[in-house]
A and B are shown apart, each in its own frame.
Chain A
């Protein structure tokens, strides 16, 4: 099925470091969502983006909707151990179907 290119696939970082991940596609999107999933649970929404160029923060998290509408990034500042998990981006295509396409996920591990 369709998926977004999400990178990096995984990363180990030290507590206190900043983290950056992104999603890219050849398709144009009108909405970007970022989720975090803990083991054995469903994804939980972190940030929603609706306009090209939009920059939105949620605590230590900041996400941006790319100007070309084909990409988005998520930054986590001053990481803490509870940031461990898998982060997914999801884009809703601009035209046609209402469905979302998901990124392949970034597995984050924080070393205390």
Chain B
């Protein structure tokens, strides 16, 4: 079955702009989580959506937002981009339960560069 698909893979924006990233989960997976990865900070949890509802949220400012559609596809948006937002943004999908029902499968990521 198809894996987790993230688009776009690479993008360059300038400060003050906004960006929308997309994630298509594995078929049947209802949970989508988003992570920001930078060399100095590792994998930082942004938020998780399950059945179109935000179930968990990390400690990021309100400029970072997301949503999930009825087909489980998810988007995340970053408004008023700052230089520090340059990172690899990863999404991961899972069935959404506990233990074996919640193993995360990652996409290849969207690398955002803010100039």
CB-CB under 8 A for A31 and B105, given A3-B42, A97-B56: no
Task: Assess the B109–A92 pair: CB atoms within 8 A.
Answer: no
CB-CB under 8 A for A44 and B104, given A1-B45, A98-B98: no
> With a CB–CB cut-off of 8 A, which chain B residues contact A60?
none
* B contact face: mostly helix, strand, loop, or mixed: strand
Decide if B62 is an interface residue (CB 8 Å cutoff): no
Tell me the chain A residues, 62-105 only, with Cβ under 8 Å from chain B. Answer: 88, 90, 92, 97-105
Decide if A45 is an interface residue (CB 8 Å cutoff): yes
> With a CB–CB cut-off of 8 A, which chain B residues contact A30?
98-99
Task: Assess the A43–B55 pair: CB atoms within 8 A.
Answer: no
> With a CB–CB cut-off of 8 A, which chain B residues contact A92?
98-99, 102
Question: Max chain B CB contacts within 10 Å: which of A3, A45, A99, A102?
Answer: A99
Interface size on A, residues (CB 8 A): 27
Question: Max chain B CB contacts within 10 Å: which of A3, A35, A100, A105?
Answer: A100
Task: Assess the B42–A102 pair: CB atoms within 8 A.
Answer: yes
CB-CB under 8 A for A45 and B58, given A50-B100, A98-B98: no
Decide if A108 is an interface residue (CB 8 Å cutoff): no
Shortest Cβ distance from A89 into chain B, in angstroms?
11
What residue of chain A has the Cβ atom nearest to residue B43's Cβ?
A102
Tell me the chain B residues, 1-47 only, with Cβ under 8 Å from chain A. Answer: 4, 6, 31, 33, 35, 42-45
CB-CB under 8 A for A100 and B104, given A31-B98, A42-B90: yes
Task: Assess the B42–A42 pair: CB atoms within 8 A.
Answer: no
* Residues of A bordering B, CB below 8 Å: 1-3, 30-31, 33, 35, 40-45, 48, 50, 88, 90, 92, 97-105
User: What 6 A-B pairs are tightest by C-beta distance, nearest first?
Assistant: A42-B106, A102-B43, A99-B56, A104-B42, A42-B108, A50-B99
